[in-house]
Amino acid sequence: MKKTVMIKKNYEFRAVLKKGKNCKGNLINIFIKKNNENINKLGIAVSKKAGNSVKRNKIKRLIRENYRLLEENLKIGNNIIILWKKQADFEKFNFYDIKKELENLFKKLNLL
């Protein structure tokens, strides 16, 4: 993640979720908000209802890796929050489904 810093503070998450634009897909929701900086900030959240810690961490790793692959093409200067949908069954999806979903949502939000 060259041009990206992770969002870890609760108030940063809440600011993006309340005031940012959002786009919803089958697996994930993406919220973005301009940050007037020269970097992107990324936050990933997976609900406890998605499964145990092993599944949640695997979901986060897959999202982070797909984001890393798309990072070079993204516009700079945004806070990005990626939320995994609770009702999305992790067992039915793989790396490529998540990649296709991220690409489609980033295109809808004009980030690609």
Averaged pLDDT for residues 44-64 = 92
Q: What percent of the chain has pLDDT over 70?
A: 98
What would the pLDDT profile of 37-48 be if each residue is shown by its tens digit?
899 999 999 999
In angstroms, rounded to a whole number, what is the distance separating the alpha carbons of residues 95 and 75? 23
- Number of folded domains that form the chain: 1
CA distances from 97 to 11, 21, 43, 91 (A): 31, 23, 20, 12
Distance (Å, rounded) from C-alpha 93 to C-alpha 65? 15
CATH code, domain carrying 26: 3.30.230.10
Structural domain boundaries enclosing 22: 4-108
Asked whether residue 53 carries a pLDDT value surpassing 90, the answer given is yes
